[in-house]
Amino acid sequence: MPSTLPPLPNSRTDPDGSAVVRVLSYNIRSMRDDTAALARVISACAPDLVLVQEAPRFFRWRKKLARLAGASGQVVLSGGATAAGPAILCSLRATVERTEDVLLPFTPGLHRRGFATAVVRFGGTRLGVLSCHLSLQKDERYEQGGMLLDRLAGMGVEHAVAGGDLNERPGGRTFRRLADGLRDCRAAAPWGGEYTSTPTDPHQRIDAIFATKGIEVLGCGVPAGLPGVTDADLRAATDHLPVLAALRIPVA
């Protein structure tokens, strides 16, 4: 992974009312690792939205997630145990219109899955947001990919972003299904590192951020080498590497 990265656009509102927004997607493994390192990575990425997977789901899960949000300059927007693991954090820059936690159909013997969703505003823009962690089982995962697309289409917004742990590489049929209906941000504007698993041996891209077609992708990738993001913290924080995207959201 590179030791330094070219600059990624900072968050801002442009004169035409469009907004540049930083979105981070991160599987945090239920905060079972070094939470101080995790908070440092998130803070250094300066995100407006954090799409979390494997948020704490059991004893005092709300306090744990709130503690992480506070330590990384965020607030808890939605999700956690009520979405079976996915969650959304946001900066105070976001104005929240609504949130909804969605539990997906349960397959006996498999882990329960869900979506954390929200509609937020940045200046004059409106944005649908979805965090997901798709199934390990390929057929169930494919069905969940379709549910994700349906959920975004039903949010009543022109522009939306979805991100998460897909448990699948770009050549897989679920990944392709999402990339056909949305824009794979990494493929649209590569920046930073490519592979998200594992921190000690990055060799596969199974975490991704997708955006609807009207959103301009300014850069997307693993922020290893970003100022303040150290290899030591990335290895200590969790068992995935994060994905950071800078997106320009048009006025709807």
What Cα–Cα distance (Å) separates residue 70 from each residue in 36, 63, 104, 148, 205? 11, 10, 29, 29, 29
Matching residue, tokens 């693993």: 222
Average pLDDT estimate for 26-32: 98
Is position 196 within any domain? yes
Is position 218 within any domain? yes
Is position 148 within any domain? yes
CATH code at 105? 3.60.10.10
The total number of structural domains in the chain stands at: 1
Is position 230 within any domain? yes
The pTM assigned to this predicted structure is: 0.97
Is position 150 within any domain? yes
Is position 159 within any domain? yes
Q: Say whether pLDDT at 230 is over 80.
A: yes
pLDDT (tens digit, 9 = 90+) per residue, 116-149?
999 999 999 999 999 999 999 999 999 999 999 9
Matching residue, tokens 């990055």: 202
Domain extent at residue 227: 12-249
Q: Where are the alpha helices (DSSP H) in 154-238?
A: 173-181, 185-188, 231-237
Question: Average per-residue pLDDT in the chain?
Answer: 97
Q: Say whether pLDDT at 20 is over 90.
A: yes
Please give the DSSP secondary-structure letter assigned to residue 66: H
Is position 130 within any domain? yes
Is position 102 within any domain? yes
Q: Residue 4 — pLDDT band, cuts 50, 70, 90?
A: low
Find out whether the peptide bond into 198 is cis, omega within 30 degrees of 0.
Answer: yes
Q: Residue 1 — pLDDT band, cuts 50, 70, 90?
A: very low
Q: Give the Cα separation of 206 and 33 in Å (integer).
A: 20
